[in-house]
Amino acid sequence: MSDVRLKSPVLRVVLRDGTVYEDLQTFSCDLTAYEREQSRRKWPAPKEAPFSWLSFLGWSVLRRDKLIGEDVGWPTFDRDLLAEVSSAGGDDEDDEDEAGTPTLPGPDPGSSAR
């Protein structure tokens, strides 16, 4: 079995109107939303299109946290509202190797830690 290290990124999102959202924690629901759309729309994997992936996650978090309306669709957000998105944890030395591998850190599967 391969060593899969998953992280759930924390994002910084800047909208075109100048609104800045810091420390937006992504959750599993945001990550699986991307996977569903990726499959449905035949989008590339997160590692192949990291900015699209982070942008989609930003949109998902903002909608989930009701910071933008639920009526704001992905294409509108990406085309008309989003100015910039980045991973708030951009200083991790392993980021390049872990791009596209989302999940919160915790005990290894099968460990006895609870």
pLDDT tens for residues 3-52? 555 678 999 999 999 999 999 999 999 999 999 999 999 999 999 999 99
- Rounded to two decimals, the pTM is 0.73
DSSP strand pairing (82-87 vs 20-25): unpaired
Average pLDDT, the chain: 83
Q: Which of 3, 97, 2, 105 is nearest to 50 (CA)?
A: 97
Dist. CA 21–CA 73, nearest whole Å: 18
Beta strands in 1-114 (DSSP E): 10-15, 20-25, 82-87
